[in-house]
Amino acid sequence: MTTDYEAIVLIGHGSRRPGANEALERLSEFVANGAAGSPRVEPAFLQFAQPDIPSVLERIASDGLRRIVLVPVFFYEGAHVAHDIPEIVASERRKRPELELTVSPVLGIDERIASMVWDRIGSARP
């Protein structure tokens, strides 16, 4: 997979539960390993966990990267996707006009997820 972006930020909800946020960190590693041209891939959380979106963008910007895509790792466009993420991105655009911030659609529901569901059903234990 190739991309014109210099950095990818995967946005997750965040959890207070120890270890729960590691899932987004692992996904970030999987995405980084599948990207040609080696764009930087970082996780960011909306609440309950760090790093948050502004912190990640600050770190990326301080390394001189400018073209960044933010990917909401959600199945549907709830309040966080419809309101919170756009508000954060608008604020960051005002603070850092040198950044080219693009927000992708949510992961959403996709036929490819159905095969994962069947895989999990096969692994279910009573």
Domains and CATH numbers, the chain: 7-123 (3.40.50.1400)
Q: What letters, b where the CB count within 10 A reaches 16 and e where it falls short, cover 89-114?
A: beebeeebeebebebeebeeeeeeee
The two beta strands, 40-45 and 7-12, are: parallel
Q: Categorize the per-residue pLDDT at 48 as very low, low, confident or very high, splitting at 50, 70 and 90.
A: very high
For 56-112, the pLDDT digits (tens) are: 999 999 999 999 999 999 999 999 999 999 999 999 999 999 999 999 999 999 899
pLDDT, residue 1, reads: 63
pLDDT given for residue 38 in this prediction: 75
- Whole-structure pTM over 0.85, yes or no? yes
Tell me what pLDDT residue 93 has.
98
Instruction: State the chain's mean pLDDT as an integer.
Output: 94
75: number of Cβ within 10 Å: 13
